[in-house]
Structure 1
Amino acid sequence: MPAFPRTLVRPLRGKLSGYAVAIGLAIIATILRQAADNLLPPGFPFLTFFPAVIVTAFVAGRGPGALCGVLSLLSSWYFFIPPANTFVLSAPVATALLFFAAVVIVDVLLIDGLQQRQEQLVESQRQLSAMADQQTLLFQELQHRVANNLASVSSMLRIQRRQIERTPEIALTVLESADQRIELMGRVHRQLYNPAAREIPLPEQIENVVAQAQDVAGAEDVKVIISAVDAPLAVDRMMTLMLLITEVLNNSIKHAFPEGSSGEVRLTLEPASHGRLRLTIADNGRGLSPGHADVPRHRGLGTAITKGFATQLGGTITVDGSNGVRTIVEFPEG
């Protein structure tokens, strides 16, 4: 259905201008009826007043239309209903006036109802157009996000393929690790891209993602203590941050606390200098001491992935393995 501009629905919006038009049209209708008096047979006192009321109601609304109707009734009664120039009321005069009043009321209410309906249709069409534009934008945004996530999966698989090429005997372990990462990435994706999630504060988002990571890894014995500020982040950047958190946490669960041993991980997200945020994830596990020569080899893939996520955030990453493992990532806010 084509949309009509609001200015064509009811051109006059101001009350003062609307009532001024009502008075002006009532006067014009009186002048025209007086000019045509000699051209008309007796019995047409309202001839020019009906159009005046209709035009007033159309251009100015219900109130001015009613005022024009009242003025037209008084003018036609006084000037054009015998005896002229008087307000004498008789049964025939009362009948004529009631007829005029009834027609005016119907005209004004009908025009007002049609205008309100037209305005509702225009507003509905505006809302539908806005919703269509929003849906198109969301679809394009979703395509962009899915492409970014698939690119992350592709990069991760390339790294793991190279790892398998170097050490074929760990192929099954690497594939299991890839399956776990992809499953966790899917869970995070569903959580963050749920429209209802836009209203959830960032600390709660982090808590939910950490719970997902613990569930996928089966790490009920690892306690994660979270302290995070509610910083504003775009959804794309929040997705990258959550994937980085799950990757670091997954590394701690798998390597800092081997064979299901208990432990503790502290996760802190706090403001840093110059509009930046600092993410710190520290575990009290066995660390990266020289006595554990196999730990760096196991952590190589996870380290590469976390560095990639830190780069996507535009940040820097440092890892300290002298007392447990402490991973610090600083990145711009926003």
Structure 2
Amino acid sequence: MTRFPRTLFRPLSGKLSGYAFSIALVGLATLIRQAADHILPPGFPFLTYFPAVIVTTFIAGRGPGALCGVLSLLSSWYFFIPPVNSFAVSWPVATALLFFAAVIVVDILLIDGLQQRQERLLESQRQLAAMADQQTLLFKELQHRVANNLASISSMLRLQRRQIERAPETAVAVLESADKRIELMGRVHRQLYDPAASGLPLPEQIESVVAQAKEVAEATHVTVFVNAVDAHLAIDRMMTLMLLITEVINNSIKHAFADGDSGEVRLQLERIAAGRLRLTIADNGRGLSSDPQAPVQRHRGLGTTIIRGFAAQLGGTVAIDGTQGVTTIVEFPEDAG
């Protein structure tokens, strides 16, 4: 638990109570000074008023402290500076009053300055404590997300190992594909957990991820159009969505336009109902063959498995239509705002 330094004592924050306390303390200081008048040597008219000003400033603040100082000066002048019961002025009297005024002004300014510095220090420590708690939370979340990503990579590698076992001659291509998937996953992870990009709206996050997917795949011949609503998603679900998007686009780049043909991919994220989103990614490429032994169909099996896994993590459903190009539709719930 974070421990803050003890604040300087100022329990009276209201103006009315502070000024009432100031007046009451001046009256008390006057009574005490009158009661002690017979035991004090001549002089000392301000003896009980100094602590009254200091205590008032500590407890009620600068304004009541200043009022206490003014009333103390007038009271000591009238009751205890000869000639008593008058406001007679002489050079010695003026000098004594100016000395008292200077001392109480310095006292008030010093106490008020200390209290303000203490308040700023407390506020800074509260902010640091909040930042430390937030960093701890983010670190735990980051650990959780990294563990999930490593689990996803492990699952993907197991799938690709089986592909190599079925067709050993594809080992190099499969490893290159795995390398690009892992590189892209790392880029997406850095983007989403970058504090500088944390406030970006979802459409801009998607456009950035799409650009990185094209860069990794070296797909300058493919144009991707993005039309997305600014939906609310927690960071872990946003990560899953981005990985799903990159996988679908990567499949289109690799297979729909495998020979370097120019093409288009259209991505749309829309809200179809309250708390329900639909992601549609469609390319105008060669589509899927109905022959299970055809090269395009066979190569897309792993990607489709990965896409279905990400859709399941989002709590959604996925449908893929390969008759005219390939259209992938994923419907999933939106997080509560």
Does the alignment reach a TM-score above 0.5?
Answer: yes
Letter in 1 for 2:187: R
The structural deviation recorded for 1:300 is 0.8
In the alignment, what sits opposite 2:90?
A: 90
Letter in 2 for 1:333: E
In the alignment, what sits opposite 2:129?
A: 129
In the alignment, what sits opposite 1:258?
A: 258
1-structure distance, mates of 2:172, 2:200: 38
Q: Is 118-127 or 71-80 further displaced after alignment?
A: 118-127
In the alignment, what sits opposite 1:102?
A: 102
Alignment pair present for 1:244 and 2:244? yes
In the alignment, what sits opposite 1:206?
A: 206
Letter in 2 for 1:302: G
Tell me the secondary structure at the aligned position of residue 232 of structure 2: coil
In the alignment, what sits opposite 1:11?
A: 11
In the alignment, what sits opposite 1:180?
A: 180
The structural deviation recorded for 1:134 is 1.2
The structural deviation recorded for 1:274 is 4.4
2-structure distance, mates of 1:54, 1:303: 77
In the alignment, what sits opposite 2:47?
A: 47
In the alignment, what sits opposite 1:63?
A: 63
Letter in 1 for 2:246: T
TM-score (norm 2): 0.95
2-structure distance, mates of 1:136, 1:309: 27
1-structure distance, mates of 2:206, 2:131: 30
In the alignment, what sits opposite 1:306?
A: 307
2-structure distance, mates of 1:110, 1:296: 81
Alignment deviations for residues 190-244 of structure 1 (CA, whole Å, 9 cap, x no partner): 1111112122121111111111111111111112122111111111111111111
8 A Cα contact 1:317 1:330, kept in partner: yes
1-structure distance, mates of 2:123, 2:290: 70
The structural deviation recorded for 1:133 is 1.0
Tell me the secondary structure at the aligned position of residue 258 of structure 1: coil
1-structure distance, mates of 2:124, 2:208: 38
Alignment pair present for 1:325 and 2:308? no
In the alignment, what sits opposite 1:216?
A: 216
Label 1:2 to 1:225 Cα distance change in 2 as closer, same or farther (>3 A).
closer
2-structure distance, mates of 1:3, 1:317: 53
8 A Cα contact 1:213 1:250, kept in partner: yes
2-structure distance, mates of 1:274, 1:197: 27
Letter in 2 for 1:308: G
1-structure distance, mates of 2:268, 2:4: 54
In the alignment, structure 2 segments of 5+ residues that lack a partner are none
TM-score (norm 1): 0.96
CA RMSD of aligned residues (A): 1.5
The structural deviation recorded for 1:4 is 3.6
8 A Cα contact 1:9 1:118, kept in partner: no
Letter in 2 for 1:74: L
8 A Cα contact 1:271 1:278, kept in partner: yes
Alignment deviations for residues 56-109 of structure 1 (CA, whole Å, 9 cap, x no partner): 111111111111111111111111111111111111111111111111111111
Q: Which has more helix, going by share of residues? A: 1
In the alignment, what sits opposite 1:294?
A: 295
The structural deviation recorded for 1:2 is 5.8
Tell me the secondary structure at the aligned position of residue 227 of structure 1: strand
2-structure distance, mates of 1:179, 1:254: 14
**Aligned-pair identity (%):** 76
